[in-house]
Structure 1
Amino acid sequence: MDASQGPPKSVLARGLSLLNAFGPSDVDLTLTVLAARSGLPKPTAHRLLGELVSWGALERTQAGYRLGMRLFVLGQRVPRPRGLREAALPYLEDLYEASHQNIHLAVLDGIDTLFLEKVSGRRSMPIISRVGGRLPAYCTATGKLFLAFGSPERLRSVLRAGLARHTPHTITMPGLLERDLARTLERGYGINREESEIGVSAVAAPVFDHRRRVIAAISITGHANRLDLERLAPAVRTSALSLSRELSHATASGTLVLPAVEPAPVPGRTAP
């Protein structure tokens, strides 16, 4: 919660603020932590937590509270990620069988890349990404595609938020990022060389709808010293184009409805 805005006023907003208090790595949180993160008085937080437990959004544990199964069930009903995941999964599995690396399906969420699906195995390098997790768009191969193929305002939003350094290889200078995005748009795929996690690199390709708008991205991610990104680029691009053809039919016919997205720039143009 943004402390500058003060605590939420409506009952619904207060309940949602308690759910939103859980971060990506949190499992169990105490009443004290939940009240502090949501900005609610402890008695109010305690009462609302009880109602959320009764509904199934939360579960009580010995350590406090954790997110409940009811939220997982509801999340599976969200049409956009479900439709994309179901359509993409065969292509992700094929890429995994061909590379034995971590394979991701991602979409843009605000100024972050959000991972909708991940396929990996015993031979894949352990990495920090997970389904439902997010990373800044500017330091990920998938995120760079959304910025390169997006509007100037999208990039300005990222720059206004700041380019925090996640590793020594993170691009933190706006001019350097703009040049990197221009190369991304020109070649048609994104590259991340240890920019979000040390020792981890990735290559990603865009997924288009029937109007040639970027609606998702597929990536191959693995050990920086073992991954030949340029050699893997054609494989990930082929998978992304095949998925694009399938989704084009679905979006054109209306069987898969997606939120409005920006049109892709004309190929060969520089990034904004």
Structure 2
Amino acid sequence: MSVVGKVSLILDAFTAEDRGIGFAELQRRTGLAKATLHRLTGEMVDARLLDRVDGRYHLSGHLFALGMRASVERSLIEVATPFLEDLYERTHETVHLGRREGTEVVYVAKIGGHRQARAPSRLGGRLPLHATAIGKALLAFAPDPVRAEVFAKPLERLAPRTVTSAALLRRQLDEAAETGLTYEAEESAVGIVCVGAPVLDADDVAVAAISVAGPSTRFQPQKHGAAVKAAAAEIAITLARRSA
């Protein structure tokens, strides 16, 4: 493996839930030799890609700043934020913005108040496309090879109600392609329900998706479908106008 490949392996070892990783755990996750990992982490700290605090490694603030310069995410977040804030004011539940990477949704923005539900989503975190409303919105309007990749392997179960039937998921995606809305009923975590909609480009391919999630005890996703769909459409229009 090249040096760049090893550095990438180290960076990818961090998850959205981590609050610092010790050297032994980082070695376990990467599988790199102790001497190699020690040398590379030292160089990455010097290059401001990692911070080392009290013997634990953290992704650095400099790395975050570099990530925010990524043109696609920056433009998307800038355009989407006012519409996400409007959705939050309308629902007072947790609002997400996500993009697809492979067969996962990556959360790039999240707005939630003091009473937000304990959803498994995290900024920069990932979840399987089939297990969330935002992921289903991305999958329903993804290129055919992406769908084929998702259905080529068993659907992972994250919670008791996760859809693991390929036939049922196909029906949900077909319905979403007609309505422009997707739903989740405690499929990523017990007690969480959600409604999502895709942000489409000119070819009706999802470049992103948004969702509103809340606890099943108080949130009724179907009542907010129209608002979510309208916000996604406005984001798409604004992105197209900016691109033009």
TM-score bucket of the superposed structures, by smaller chain: over 0.9
Among 111, 129, 146, the alignment partner of 1:154 is 146
Q: Which residue of 1 aligns with 2:91?
A: 99
> Which amino acid is 1:62 matched to?
D
Mapped to 2, the partners of 1:149 and 1:100 lie a distance apart of 27
Asked whether the 8 Å contact 1:208–1:248 carries over to 2, the reply is: no
Matches of residues 63-142 of structure 1 in structure 2 within 5 Å?
63-142=55-134
Give the whole-Å Cα distance in 2 for the aligned partners of 1:244 and 1:20. Answer: 30
Instruction: Report the 3-state secondary structure (helix = DSSP H, G, I; strand = E; otherwise coil) of the residue aligned with 2:162.
Output: coil
Distance apart, 1:41 and its partner CA: 1.1
Q: Deviations over 1:100-137 (max 9, x none)?
A: 00011111111011111111111322322121111110
Instruction: Write the distance in 2 (CA, Å) between the matches of 1:217 and 1:93.
Output: 15
CA distance in 2 between counterparts of 1:241 and 1:11 reads 43
Q: Structure 1-normalised TM-score?
A: 0.85
Q: State which drifts further: 90-99 or 155-164.
A: 155-164
Cα separation, 2, equivalents of 1:212 and 1:21: 34
Query: What is the match of residue 200 of structure 1?
Result: 192
By how many angstroms is 1:151 displaced? Answer: 3.0
SS in 1 for 2:21: coil
Q: Specify the code of the residue in structure 1 equivalent to 2:60.
A: G
**Following the alignment from structure 2 to structure 1, what is the Cα–Cα distance between the partners of residues 20 and 116?**
29
Q: What's the CA shift for 1:183?
A: 1.6
In the alignment, residue 51 of structure 1 is paired with which amino acid? Answer: E
Structure 2 Cα separation of the partners of residues 241 and 152 of structure 1: 22
Distance in 2 of aligned mates of 1:49 and 1:151: 38
**How many Å separate the matches in 1 of 2:224 and 2:46?**
49
Q: Deviations over 1:33-67 (max 9, x none)?
A: 22232221111111111100111111122243221
Aligned pairs for 1:53-64 within 5 A: 53-64=45-56
Return 5+ residue gaps in structure 1 as ranges.
Answer: 1-8, 254-272
Q: Which runs of 4+ in 1 moved over 6 A?
A: none
Which segments of 5 or more consecutive residues in structure 2 lack a partner in the other structure?
none
Sequence identity, in percent? 37
User: 1:207 touches 1:215 (CA, 8 Å); kept in 2?
Assistant: yes
Q: Report the Cα distance in structure 2 between the residues aligned to 1:226 and 1:140, rounded to whole angstroms.
A: 18
Asked if the contact 1:76–1:82 (Cα under 8 Å) also holds between the matched residues in 2, the reply is: yes
**Which of 102-111 and 158-167 deviates more?**
158-167
Of the two, which has the highest radius of gyration?
Answer: 1
Q: TM-score scaled by structure 2? A: 0.95
Please state if 1:178 is matched with 2:170.
yes
Structure 1 SS opposite 2:100: strand
Contact 1:115–1:132 under 8 Å retained in 2: yes
Distance (Å, rounded) in 1 between the aligned partners of 2:226 and 2:121: 23
3-state DSSP of counterpart to 1:164: coil
Tell me the residue number matched to 2:219: 227
CA RMSD of aligned residues (A): 1.4
Quick one: which amino acid aligns to residue 135 of structure 2?
G
SS state of the match for residue 57, structure 2?
Answer: strand
Contact 1:210 1:249 (C-alpha < 8 Å) held by counterparts:
no
Report the CA distance between 1:209 and its aligned residue: 2.3
1:213 equivalent to 2:205? Answer yes
| Match for residue 30 of structure 1 among 3, 9, 22 | 22
SS in 2 for 1:13: helix
Amino acid at match of 1:120: G
**Residue 237 of structure 1 corresponds to which residue in structure 2?**
229
